Amino acid sequence: MAKSPPLRIIHCFRSPVGGIFRHVRDLAEEHAKAGHQVGILCDSTTGGAYEDALFDSITPHLALGLTRLPMQRSLGPADITTAIRTFREIKSLQPDVLHGHGAKGGAFVRLVGSQLRVSRSCVARLYSPHGGSLHYDERTLRGQAYFAIERLLERWTDNLVFVSDYERRAYTDKIGEPRAPWRLIHNGLRDHEFEPVGTAPDAVDFLYIGMMRDLKGPDVFIEALRRAEQLAGRPLHSVMVGDGDDKPRYQARLDALGMGGRVAMHDAMPARQAFAMAHTVVIPSRAESMPYIVLEAVAAGKPVISTRVGGIPEILGSDFTGFVPPGDSEALAEAMSKDILEPNWLRAAMPDMDAFRSHFSARTMAERMASLYQDCLARKMRDTSPRTVSSLS
């Protein structure tokens, strides 16, 4: 890690589940080890026992503490109250860096950071979309509204941080060429996550792991599994791991199809624990940015079938043979049945592990991020120095 002065860093995001939460935990831990002081501010109404355990594990690294406030997913009047409380909490912590993740966290960070600037605070305001509002369709009124807000907030952004080149391209296509400086910093994994995960003796054929919402494709997974049984000529067994409001609907569909006895539903659990439960991981997402679950599966030595969406080709390679189109249950079923009938097909297609490990390291990610923070602060100090003010007058 760079030998720069220690920083006071606050990460703000809405939902403490999934990839954003994982990304922030990794950054917080690595930066704390490097001597920086880190804090987290996020929603208080999302998550369960599993997320509580994750907070317990990261809390020792949070010198600036954990603050949880109610944050709605959609825009609403309650955001005003939350923004005021967020400003008070952040101001008391006197941060050097505010890093917002996702649309809601990014909005709060840039508004609060700009208000702190009025008080002559030289705080750096960074925003990582992580998909967020970029998932909306630009042809809809809601999408256009969100993209207009994103464009407006660029005025109060010191740096955009994209976790995949796909995300950068989506931002440019939907919002416009970034007016703020930007940098691409891929997600990374910790050293122990590159240890292979063995397969349990009672492992099933396929694993779905992720949020239980249609965006992530559990509905497509269920329909594809039924069709794959027909193509493979035998019953197939799977596990589905994750939490979400739509989980009962997926269970009801499995029961209606008579598949409830062959597909077990589990609450969210550590990915490596889930990997041991199945031979192959299936990622049926309709949209992604740079999903950690794909990185984790590859690092653990698990074969993967995935939709070709978001930054996943940056992980698996653009010519990966295990890709299927999003939302296409028939194509997914064909890939799943091929995995059953040709067991070595996917393993031969997976990325080279040495090259993969050298690129997707959490330590490298954190070092690059800390360097960016320092660059932002140096730029702000330079822009507000007396010499600069004089030259502009």
1 belongs to a structural domain:
no
Q: Give 341: exposed, middle or buried? Use CB within 10 Å, 0-12, 13-18, 19+.
A: exposed
pLDDT in tens, 326-356: 999 999 999 999 999 999 999 999 999 999 9
CATH code for the domain of 290 = 3.40.50.2000
pLDDT in tens, 202-216: 999 999 999 999 999
80 belongs to a structural domain:
yes
Same domain, yes or no, for 247 and 165? Answer: no
Same domain, yes or no, for 235 and 259? Answer: yes
Separation between Cα atoms, residue 236 and residue 383, nearest integer Å = 62
Token digits for 49? 């026992």
Domain that holds residue 308: 192-355
Same domain, yes or no, for 143 and 71? Answer: yes
55 belongs to a structural domain:
yes
Burial 267-294 (b: 16+ CB within 10 A, else e): ebeebbebbbbbbbbbbbbbbbbbbbbb
Same domain, yes or no, for 374 and 318? Answer: no
State yes or no: pLDDT of 392 exceeds 60: no
Token pair 């960016």 is found at 372
State yes or no: pLDDT of 391 exceeds 70: no
Number of domains in the chain: 2
Quote the pLDDT of residue 2: 45
Secondary element (H or E) of residue 154: none
Reference 238, options 248, 249, 224, 252; nearest CA is 224
Instruction: Give the pLDDT mean for 301-308.
Output: 98
Quote the pLDDT of residue 215: 93
Token digits for 256? 């209606």
* Dihedral (CA of 332, 334, 340, 346) sign: negative
**Beta-carbon neighbour count of residue 348 at 10 Å?**
9
State yes or no: pLDDT of 372 exceeds 60: yes
Quote the pLDDT of residue 374: 96
Same domain, yes or no, for 350 and 365? Answer: no
Same domain, yes or no, for 145 and 224? Answer: no
Same domain, yes or no, for 140 and 264? Answer: no
Q: Are 284 and 332 in contact (CB under 8 A)?
A: yes
Q: How far is CA 255 from the centre of its chain?
A: 31
Same domain, yes or no, for 122 and 24? Answer: yes
3 belongs to a structural domain:
no
Same domain, yes or no, for 222 and 313? Answer: yes
Same domain, yes or no, for 350 and 209? Answer: yes
* 3-state helix/strand/coil string of 316-368: HCCCCCCEECCCCHHHHHHHHHHHHHCCCHHHHHCCCHHHHHHHCEHHHHHHH
Quote the pLDDT of residue 389: 40
